[in-house]
A and B are shown apart, each in its own frame.
Chain A
């Protein structure tokens, strides 16, 4: 008791650095960097190292650095991720960081996530309560309602699923994985009174039938959620 153990990842010996390429907006801006590694080290740490040691003008976004705010989404070697939740590769292979796909680029790695939020808003993402709801509802944790909802909670609206979806991130209008996941939660929430409106929306032309089950969303979600499963359940339940 009281003795610290470390797993292999934390015991990795320091090496002589990591090669990083960063997609930049300005044509003349420097894109290649080499940073010293340490353990543990995330892609967010890499970006901070580049900013502090090489180029203070590099544009990227983050806030909480522990996977709660959902604002540090980038593409790392082609995959959309949260920078703070992504460890640097252990084998020392180069890291290529680019802005998330499917969104207009504001500057360097910063994207405009308005397309994500536009879809999110369309599902009426807030509970529409009954007029007389004054006390918290009594709902048992093992009720069918909660069993249907609980696996779909803790979405941080990072847009990584949207960016990883061939349809939402593409040119067709599609509510997308996160908004549909939110719709599933609310459709099952007995406190909500807008169930039919949401079911109509998700059954409509921009809804669940747009999904081709490529599972880009579920394999990319940094919170381990399964939006594709939510879409499937919405399809069955409509």
Chain B
């Protein structure tokens, strides 16, 4: 292995560097180009541009107020209620206000075509936790339409694409001003220093750190970890959403893939292994159409109380609508279940809560600005939009709405920000850190380390938590961190998945620690964060957001809390219990 100062790298200069090529990243590129057509834009993607990450995996659809009978206020109230009032209301308001505009843009400019009603207007379907059927969709595989068309738009605007390139660290100049970032080209093993006037981080969340998890492979918290290493504050990291209906497919990688929310919206029932429709004991009014946090916790409770199936699941059944209707409305979901030897159209299918979406993330303002000048964050890497629980259909809305906003901000910001010269020592240190596992002297393979992290997070920081488990998780994470220092992988630098896995798990460990520490501090049950030792929602104490920052990967994180502000709507109107029983 070369010594630290011998790491060779190439340098690339651009105006706006966007990390991530999902819904947020590509909408950002589009808006940045539209706002300032002369700017040099570089999209940096760990996977294939437009075909990795989770916007691509969106099934059910996109919440937007486009029907005159609906209202922005109703969407806002649904979003805040769903988020148990932990949301940054300015961000939730931006989401709700911009979503109709962005749906129009996706249809009229980007070229998406969403399903229509018989009269030719855009159709909207029912999702859980909403007072109006406002979810726009294209069949039950909406993400393919959105991301394929965004991928095509990249050909139109001609942004530079660094495909199969991993962003490593943000780098700063001698005065501490943002100068760009270090990158690793996966396909060649070549290091690249990207100098940029503006950096946009939009890599997606970190839910893959759970044993049963829904997201695409790439989502390993890279963006949040990069921001944490640079000292940025994050918020609400304890808020990890579990989608209630993840597929159980044994040891297959398919396990954890989501069966979409529209099933519950359309009237699917959930049963435990005794054939009881158990939601009657948890939310008799809304039943299966309750929000994800409530349904996931109910399923988990049934399973851990011994009323689950042999494989550790519950059953979703929509066959009472008739096989033909199910096949017509949910062809993708039916196909997915038949692939594993079950059949959604004709009978129940085994499902489990699955780690799905991180509500927590980097603190941003409504223009996606952060505590660092020149650094913007958009999409799942940012926190605050969804509070303690995200509504189905608000995820792709967030990524595209805030992607647009980041692009607008970047376009106006880039002209006024000069290129800075990155501090050479931190550039070299970043490359050396990335290179260390490759044919390194250590003894730890990344794959068992990832597996152990997933088991740990599922068992001790999962759907329902308590102080004992979380304290054990804290200790166990420290041990995993020790093992991560000894990571080593064999093989070439060129397209080496094991090396990439080593870099992924390092990032996951950084984010995992913030989740565990925040979850220990929040001694109540709210939204996705359920504490069996503190089963009630405590509005008197905990209408507060937990913030966290870290001076470096080896230093202890610093936590503090900030009271939630209610500029638009107070929580008194519709308090409800947390319900972690």
Q: What residues make up the interface of A, taking CB atoms closer than 8 Å to B?
A: 1-11, 26, 38-42, 44-45, 48, 51-52, 56-71, 84-85, 87, 106-108, 110, 121, 125-127, 129, 133-143, 146, 149, 153-157, 189, 191-192
List, in ascending order, chain B residues with CB within 8 A of A146's CB.
116
Chain B 240-259 interface 0/1 with A at a Cβ cutoff of 8 Å (1 = within): 00000000011111100100
In the complex with contacts A4-B309, A57-B491, A138-B121 CB distance below 8 A: yes
Q: Determine the chain A residues whose CB is within 8 A of the CB of B111 once the complex forms.
A: 126-127, 129, 191-192
Whether the Cβ atoms of B108 and A5 lie closer than 8 Å is no
Q: Once the chains are docked, how many angstroms separate the CA of A38 from the CA of B248? A: 13
Report the bound CA distance from A45 to B53 in whole Å.
Answer: 19
- Contact assessment for B340 and A64 in the assembled complex, using a CB-CB cutoff below 8 Å: no
Out of B275, B276, B340, name the residue touching A10 (CB < 8 Å): B340
Docked CA distance A52–B187 (Å):
21
| Chain B contact residues: helix, strand, loop or mixed | loop
Taking CB atoms, residues of chain B closer than 8 Å to A1 are 269, 271, 275, 317, 320, 348
Given contacts A40-B252, A140-B118, contact A63 B47 (CB under 8 A): yes
Q: Are A56 and B109 in contact (CB under 8 A)?
A: no
One of B118, B148, B149 near A141 (C-beta < 8 A): B118
Q: Are A141 and B217 in contact (CB under 8 A)?
A: no
Measured CA separation A135–B109 after assembly (Å): 10
Are B496 and A57 in contact (CB-based, < 8 A)? yes
Q: Does chain A have a CB within 8 A of B48?
A: yes
Complex Cα distance, B391 from A24, in Å, reads: 45
A interface secondary structure, majority: loop
**Is there an interface contact between A141 and B116, defined as CB atoms closer than 8 Å?**
yes
Q: How far, in angstroms, from A203 to B152 measured CA to CA in the complex?
A: 22
Interface residues of B (CB under 8 A from A): 47-48, 51-53, 56-57, 103-104, 107-111, 113-122, 138-139, 141, 143-145, 148-149, 151-153, 155-156, 187, 216-218, 249-254, 257, 269, 271, 275-277, 309, 315, 317, 320, 336, 339-343, 347-350, 445-447, 489-492, 494-498
Q: Given contacts A56-B498, A126-B155, are A2 and B56 in contact (CB under 8 A)? A: no
- Return B281 CB to nearest CB of chain A, in Å: 15
Q: Please, could you name 10 A-B residue pairs with CB atoms under 8 Å apart, sorted by A? A: A2-B317, A38-B250, A41-B252, A57-B490, A59-B497, A64-B52, A69-B52, A71-B47, A107-B492, A129-B108
How many angstroms from the CA of A139 to the CA of B153 in the assembled complex? 23
Q: Which residue of B lies closest to A65 (CB)?
A: B253
Contact A2 B48 (CB under 8 A): no
- Docked pose: A139 CA to B116 CA in angstroms: 7
With A1-B271, A63-B217, A64-B216 known to touch, is A69 a contact of B56 (CB < 8 Å)? yes
Q: List residues of chain B with CB within 8 A of the CB of A9.
A: 341
| A6-B342 in contact (CB<8A) | yes
